[in-house]
Structure 1
């Protein structure tokens, strides 16, 4: 079906939209092509009568083999990053939620703007990064976001200052707001720096990630949150004997134990078994309960 700036695909196969390559058929995929089209979403979603989930690049999702009531909403590309002003010595860069993080980093480097380099190697979109308060190598979205444009049924399309949101480890919520909201875009506050310095820092981060993480494998990124107290989930899983642990076509990466890798034919059931096994081993040895960082659709 096609409405004004909205396309609905019936029974999409989620394995085609997730970086891990697992997931069965959902109820529908709703693609939105303009902020104005968001006004129709409540009526569309009500008509589809399903559970709503939001999709960016699908890089942190593990989806079940059958999700007949799931309706997935996705934003399609709308413009490129642009400098929209300066405030308190920071340069403001605006971009749409569908902008991929690598593209935003290239834009920032080419304009001599620093602050994002630690996120090199994160393959997702800006919308997903904001919604998850993504972070890497000392940089979190919460540290650099200036404002966020959202749509919600009660507020419509609005741009809100970052202070209206509560950021926590891999989460972002809107204060004094009930119900769902969708990130449409964000403005980041960056600093000026020499392009050569930024480029070198980006290169260093990429090299570090390539040597320590399975960046080219079919994965959903880190599967568990770091539990705090200077302990990383990867170290705990490694010490508990999970690195390289396999089930079917899925395994904990040999490079980094906190990454599940689909080495070929891996299924949702394989991934869930390994996550449960990893949690059990870490709890038995360290008394630590690991919590998922990935989004599990089931």
Structure 2
């Protein structure tokens, strides 16, 4: 893993524009990947089994990290007719590697996760996204890439009633003011497009009759495939500067937000939707390392 981290660091140094020194870059940049799969939780809340997508494309060290961490996970039992039952769900994990200050080593950990419902008809899903986010010309010229994580409130007609940017991660190293400006630029472009998107409400399940639904949606801006997920990079470390999780003013009005149980904003794979207040709820630490 040490050799892998050094290779990642060199890639980041070559690929990210920076006006700062190497030391500052090492302190601020993280390398991460989103690992997807499915998980089965036993009636008592323990992990019965899990399966990772495309394990042949994942570093062995990441597979080992997930195996060790998942052995200690415990979830709130899932009830059916008042009785605990086994439950299957989609799993998204963000694995982060960060350089240890003052050494050649690094630490790797599972920094965030979402465990969504396994049945698609109980979830919000995309219906129409024909209006894609327009990659800002200034960002293209400055070779700025990043991912915007939106929070959207969807009404009974499947239309977006509210939308805000919760977090923006950038593949860019710059001053705090420059990073803030680029986060705002990418967030604005995402929000403009997202206002026009429509969704399919849940067709069944406990949330089918809700008056509204709140979901997280990632919007990816990259210079390889503008506005599209970069599917060829699954299992590869990506260098980025994580943005702060911003408060969403309107979110506190809605109970689903407080029922989210700590799901990570940036643990979502591209082209996915995570409905807040749904899915499995982890009650133990995500990473025991």
Shorter-chain TM range is under 0.3
TM-score, structure 1 normalization: 0.26
The structure showing larger relative contact order (alpha-carbon pairs under 8 Å, at least 6 residues apart) is 2
TM-score, structure 2 normalization: 0.26
